[in-house]
C-alpha cells in the first residue's frame, strides 16, 4: 500500500469526520433518553460523582460525605433482589421505556478500531478499505471498473478462424495468452521485477478494457493507480508548465486542480492509454522520457496501450525512449476483429 502524505491525511480526515458523527449521534441519543427517562441523568451524575471521589482518594484528599449514587444497590434483606450496578439499572430503565438496552452505548462505525483506523499499532481492516475507496476516487475509474473487469472480459469476441500471419495462431489463441499474462501481472504484481506492459494492436481489440481489468485488481488490493489517456496527460502537463496570464492561470488551475505531477512517479501503477494520439513534439517526448525513466528507476509499474506497432512507435519517439520500452516492457499484441463493430452489429440484429 503506497500512500503519499496528502493521501494519508485525506484518510485520517475521514476518521476525524466519523468520530465527530459518532459523538453527535451519542449526544442526540442521550438527549432523547434523558427527556424520556429523567432518572438516567441522575444515575450518570452519580457515576460521575463516584469517579471524582475515587480520584480524590487517590490524591489523599478527604472524601466527601455523600451517598455514592454510582455504587450498586445494596440488598436490604434476604428477600431483597441482588445488587444492581448503575449500568444494569440504566439498561433496565431503557428496556422498560421501549429503548434498546444498548441505546446509550458508545457508537462506532467500526467496532474493531473504534473509528480510529488502528488496532494497537496496526492499521485496521476498515483503514485498508478507506484507502481502496480513495484510490478508486483518485483513479477516475470507479464507474467503468464496475463494467470492465476480468469477470466481464469475454474471449468470445476473438474468433478461431482468424489467423495471425505473424504468429501463425488464431485470434482466440493469441488472446488466451494475452489474458493469462494480464491476470498473472495483476495477481503477482508485488513480486515482479519488471511490472511493465505494452498492449498494442488496432483500435477496438480490447487494450483499454484489459488495462481496466488490471487496474481494478490492483486497486482492490490497495494499490494506487493513475490512469490517463496520452493526450489528456500531456495536455495537463503542458497546462501546468506553460500557461501564463491571469485568465490562463485560472483555467489551468481548474484543469489540474486534482492533478499531481509528482504522483506520476510515485503511484503504484501508471496507465497511459492511446499513446500516439498526443501531439508529438519536443515537450511531450521530454516529459515521456522523464516519466519512463523515473518510474523505471523506482520500480513503479507502467501499462501503455497504443494503436501503433513497435515499429511505428520507433518512428515517432527517440531511440532512448524506445530502448527503455523494448528492454523493460513485455509486449502483447492484441489481434482480432474490431469488437466495437461486432457489438454494434449484434445490437442491430
Query: Bridge-partner residues for 301, per DSSP?
Result: 269
Question: Distance between CA atoms of 349 and 345, rounded to whole angstroms?
Answer: 6
Nearest-angstrom CA–CA distance, 30 and 44: 11
The position carrying cell 445490437 is 347
From the centroid of its chain, how far is CA 199?
25
Assigned domain for 130 exists:
no
pTM assigned to the model = 0.77
* 204: containing domain: 140-348
Q: DSSP state, 226?
A: E
Question: What's 290's domain CATH number?
Answer: 3.40.50.300
Do 168 and 297 share a domain, yes or no?
A: yes
Q: State the Cα–Cα distance between residues 35 and 46, nearest whole angstrom.
A: 18
Domain check: are 158 and 248 in the same one?
A: yes
Diameter of the chain measured on Cα atoms: 100
- Cell numbers found for residue 224: 494506487
Identify whether 135 is part of a domain: no
Q: What angle do CA 9, 12, 15 make, to 5 degrees?
A: 155
What would you report as the CA-atom Rg of the chain, rounded to the nearest whole angstrom?
31
Asked whether residue 223 carries a pLDDT value surpassing 90, the answer given is yes
Only one residue has cell 455514592, namely: 68
Going by DSSP bridges, is the β-strand pair 118-119/122-123 parallel, antiparallel, or unpaired? antiparallel
Q: Which helix (H) or strand (E) holds 297?
A: helix 282-298
Whether the per-residue pLDDT at 347 is higher than 80: the answer is yes
Does residue 325 belong to any structural domain of this protein? Answer: yes
Q: Identify whether residues 149 and 69 lie together within a single domain.
A: no
Q: Which position has the grid cell 466481464?
A: 152
- List of residues 6+ apart from 44 with CB closer than 8 A: 86, 90
Q: Residue 75's pLDDT is what?
A: 46
| pLDDT on residue 1 | 65
Q: Which of 62, 95, 123 is the last residue of a domain?
A: 123
Cβ partners under 8 Å of residue 264, min gap 6:
226, 270, 291, 294, 295
Domain shared by 103 and 168, yes or no: no
Rounded Cα distance, 130 and 10, in Å: 10
Q: Are residues 42 and 151 in the same domain?
A: no
Chosen domain end from 96, 123, 150: 123
Helix (H, G, I), strand (E, B) or coil at 270: strand
54, 158: one domain:
no
Residue 131 lies in a domain: no
Judge if 19 and 83 occupy the same domain: yes
The verdict on 198 and 324 lying in the same domain is yes
Tell me what pLDDT residue 79 has: 52
Same domain, 119 and 192: no
**106 with 177, same domain?**
no
Tally of CB atoms within 10 A around 311 = 8
Residue 199 pLDDT level (bands cut at 50, 70, 90): very high
Residue 134, domain member (yes or no): no
pLDDT band at 258 (very low <50, low <70, confident <90, very high): low
Residue where a domain stops, chosen among 66, 97, 123? 123
Domain count, the chain: 2
Torsion of CA 316, 317, 319, 321, to 10 degrees: -160
State percent of the chain over pLDDT 70. Answer: 88
Say which range, 112-121, 135-144, 287-296, has the weakest mean pLDDT. 135-144
Q: How many residues make up the chain in this entry?
A: 349
Residue 246 counted as domain residue: yes
Which pLDDT belongs to residue 82?
A: 64
With H, G, I as helix, E, B as strand and everything else as coil, classify residue 1.
Answer: coil
* Domain assignment present for 128: no
By percentage, how much of the chain surpasses pLDDT 90? 70
Calculate ∠ Cα 324-225-15, nearest 5°.
150
Segment 8-35, tens digit of pLDDT: 999 999 999 999 999 999 999 999 999 9
pLDDT above 70: residue 324? yes
pLDDT band at 62 (very low <50, low <70, confident <90, very high): low
Residue located via cell numbers 523493460: 328
Q: Supply the pLDDT for residue 45.
A: 87
Q: Judge if 94 and 169 occupy the same domain.
A: no
Q: Is 294 in contact with 265 (CB distance < 8 Å)?
A: yes
The verdict on residue 132 lying in a domain is no
Same domain, 116 and 193: no
Amino acid at each position: 500500500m503506497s500512500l503519499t502524505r496528502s493521501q494519508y491525511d485525506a484518510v485520517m480526515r475521514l476518521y476525524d469526520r466519523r468520530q465527530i458523527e459518532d459523538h453527535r449521534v451519542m449526544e442526540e441519543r442521550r438527549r432523547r433518553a434523558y427527556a424520556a427517562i429523567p432518572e438516567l441523568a441522575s444515575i450518570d451524575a452519580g457515576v460521575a460523582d463516584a469517579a471524582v471521589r475515587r480520584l480524590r482518594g487517590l490524591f489523599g484528599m478527604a472524601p466527601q460525605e455523600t451517598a455514592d449514587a454510582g455504587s450498586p444497590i445494596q440488598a436490604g434483606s434476604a428477600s431483597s433482589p441482588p445488587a444492581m450496578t448503575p449500568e444494569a439499572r440504566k439498561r433496565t430503565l431503557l428496556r422498560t421505556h421501549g429503548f434498546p438496552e444498548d441505546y446509550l452505548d458508545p457508537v462506532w462505525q467500526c467496532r474493531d478500531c473504534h473509528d480510529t483506523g488502528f488496532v494497537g499499532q496496526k492499521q485496521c481492516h476498515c483503514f485498508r478499505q478507506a484507502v481502496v475507496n480513495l484510490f478508486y476516487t483518485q483513479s477516475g475509474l470507479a464507474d467503468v471498473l464496475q463494467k470492465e473487469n476480468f469477470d466481464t472480459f469475454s474471449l468470445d469476441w476473438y474468433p478461431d478462424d482468424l489467423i495471425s500471419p505473424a504468429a501463425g495462431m488464431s485470434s482466440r489463441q493469441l488472446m488466451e495468452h494475452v489474458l493469462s499474462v494480464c491476470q498473472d501481472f495483476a495477481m503477482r504484481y508485488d513480486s515482479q521485477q519488471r511490472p511493465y506492459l505494452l498492449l498494442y494492436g488496432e483500435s477496438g481489440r480490447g487494450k483499454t478494457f484489459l488495462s481496466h481489468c488490471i487496474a481494478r485488481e490492483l486497486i482492490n488490493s490497495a494499490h494506487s493507480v493513475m490512469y490517463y489517456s496520452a493526450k489528456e496527460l500531456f495536455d495537463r502537463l503542458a497546462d501546468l508548465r506553460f500557461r501564463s496570464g491571469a485568465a490562463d492561470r485560472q483555467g489551468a488551475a481548474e484543469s489540474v486542480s486534482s492533478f499531481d505531477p509528482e504522483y506520476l512517479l510515485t503511484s503504484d501503477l501508471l496507465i497511459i492509454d492511446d499513446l500516439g494520439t498526443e501531439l508529438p513534439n519536443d515537450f511531450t517526448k521530454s516529459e515521456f522520457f522523464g516519466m519512463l525513466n523515473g518510474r523505471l528507476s523506482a520500480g513503479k509499474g507502467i501499462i501503455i496501450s497504443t494503436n501503433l506497432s513497435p515499429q511505428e512507435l520507433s518512428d515517432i519517439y527517440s531511440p532512448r525512449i524506445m530502448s527503455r520500452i523494448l528492454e523493460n516492457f513485455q509486449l502483447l499484441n492484441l489481434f482480432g476483429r474490431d469488437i466495437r463493430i461486432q457489438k454494434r452489429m449484434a445490437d442491430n440484429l
